[in-house]
Amino acid sequence: MLDVGKWPVFALLSPEELRLVRQACVFGTAANEALYVTVTDEVFALGTNCTGCLGLGDMQSTIESRRIDILCGKKIVSLSCGTGPHVVIATADGEVYAWGHNGYSQLGNGTTNHGLTPALVSTNLINKRVTEVACGSHHTIALTSEGEVFAWGYNNSGQVGSGSTANQPTPRRVSSCLQNKVVVNIACGQLCSMAVLDNGEVTYGWGYNCNGQLGLGNNSNQQTPCRIAALQGVNIVQVVCGYAHTLALTDEGFVYAWGANSYGQLGTGSKCNQALPTLLSVDRERMVEVAACHTSHTSAAKSQSGQVLMWGHCRGQAVTLPHVTHFSSTDDVFACFATPAVTWRLLTVDGDDYLTVAQSLKREFDSPEISDLKFLVDGKCIYVHKALLKIRCEHFRALLNETDETAIEVSQFSYLVYRAFLEYLYTDTISLHPEDAVGLLDLATYYRETRLKRLCQETIKRGISEDNAITLLSAAVKYEARDLEEFCFKFCVNHLTAVTQTQAFADMDHDLLKNFISKASRYGAFKN
């Protein structure tokens, strides 16, 4: 559970105030400015208020929280801060608001006047739904729901991707190589920008490159997006930027790093810069998240089992190899070890003492104390509540209306799968390894649980690898999970050489193999 109290700027908030925090962001050159959103969608700010970056209408510092009225009820979905600092947010409605330092037009309003209150960024964004924003030192980029990228602000190194080095006063679409392509992930270093396309196969970078942070194999600045050729054939699902280095996470859980390395922030074991993506040697399970922030030289990652690793500039020390921490979140790394100790993303905070309805239900799952029904699966008991099962599942509503039994034996599914199914009814989430999720996909298909089927597919997607890709593809075909089938097929084609050497491929069903080869051929997989 995330604790915003780890950030000193929140030290003067009372326990009652801290319990109401739902989202938070810490920023500024000394991590002494903060914004937070309460459970009632009110937005507050506190701190030194440099250049009016708190959005309060003045430049007065405050150690007590003050409300930003214009943002209350807006439902912030993305937030990023520059070095000036300037602050940019995207709301659930797709609107963009910006305020703070504006010496280079990074607020996108066409002027260089500092913004003391949040103002809607509208030029060229009318009828556009922005889903994500990212700030460099003094420039801003935004991603729309249609996969377009807009950029504005400081452009001395080409970081707005316009083809020149003139500052960009209002949002301008980044086209060039990104024209007619769909971007799904964006990030900013101090003076550079990165974008990942929807198929994950292509990553682009532009802007400052003197430390090799664009991953192009050279140190030349780029004024328009340039494809990272060294990552061809590697599917990227997340990219993040530090001050002058970049981390990328692949669909198989591998981490690539490139750029500046004077503090060991690439995790290669040395302090030598790398102008090309370098695969980190992490002898542990797959990574599911990488973390970096353009204000620091610190890097972090989280593994599938929940281990958090950190490296780079860690509280004054240069840690050149990933180091396992006791933290449960990459956010904690930046709270305790980064300089300055700012947040690398918008924090989402769970309540501590107060339990929501969902949390209460989760706590009572498989608890015999007040349950009125138990399932017997593989000789083990799972304790549940009839009323909840009737509410949540049509299958159980029909079944339990016809019986007064207090114990029901199940033989069609394994204990692991059936327990995961029942737990899903209590929590709306599933926690299974991809191979086990195939069994749950079978159950979801049998019980006609559409949403559970979709969640199983997402779990399988996150856990796909060269070794299990054919097995998962076969399952997707068997259970008529079309979206998952397409995803697994593309993964197999993108990793064709390795996949065809697995035992699963050798044991592949004849008809499925025939269809796979035919479709892969049409896809161009066998062209020289």
Task: Tell me phi and psi for residue 227, to 5 degrees.
Answer: -70, 140
Predicted confidence at residue 243, as pLDDT, reads: 98
Q: What angle do CA 92, 97, 103 make, to 5 degrees?
A: 155
Please state whether the peptide bond connecting residue 340 to the residue before it is cis, i.e. omega within 30 degrees of 0. Answer: yes
Q: Which amino acid, residue 372? A: D
Please state whether the peptide bond connecting residue 15 to the residue before it is cis, i.e. omega within 30 degrees of 0. Answer: no
Pairing mode of beta strands 407-410, 373-377? parallel
List per-residue pLDDT tens for the chain, 528 residues long: 467 888 999 988 988 888 889 999 999 999 999 999 999 999 999 999 999 999 999 999 999 999 999 999 999 999 999 999 999 999 999 999 999 999 999 999 999 999 999 999 999 999 999 999 999 999 999 999 999 999 999 999 999 999 999 999 999 999 989 999 999 999 999 999 999 999 877 899 999 999 999 999 999 999 999 999 999 989 999 999 999 999 999 999 999 999 999 999 999 999 999 999 999 987 667 899 999 999 999 999 999 888 999 999 999 999 999 999 999 899 999 999 999 999 999 998 865 445 678 778 888 999 998 999 999 999 999 999 999 999 999 999 999 998 889 999 999 999 999 999 999 999 888 878 877 888 898 899 889 999 998 888 888 888 889 999 999 899 888 888 888 889 899 999 999 999 999 999 999 989 999 999 999 888 877 765
d(CA 30, CA 317): 18
Q: Which amino acid, residue 56? A: L
Predicted confidence at residue 359, as pLDDT, reads: 75
d(CA 237, CA 198): 9
d(CA 309, CA 317): 15
Pairing mode of beta strands 203-207, 43-47? unpaired
Q: Which whole-number Å values give the CA distances from 448 to 401, 443, 444, in the listed order?
A: 19, 8, 6
Task: Please name the helix (run of DSSP H) or strand (run of DSSP E) that holds residue 424, with its range, or none.
Answer: helix 415-427
Q: Which whole-number Å values give the CA distances from 218 to 53, 94, 208, 263, 488, in the listed order?
A: 36, 37, 11, 20, 34
d(CA 2, CA 378): 37
Predicted confidence at residue 164, as pLDDT, reads: 97
Q: Is the CB of residue 157 less than 8 Å from the CB of residue 136? A: no
How many other CB atoms are there within 10 angstroms of residue 210's CB atom?
A: 18
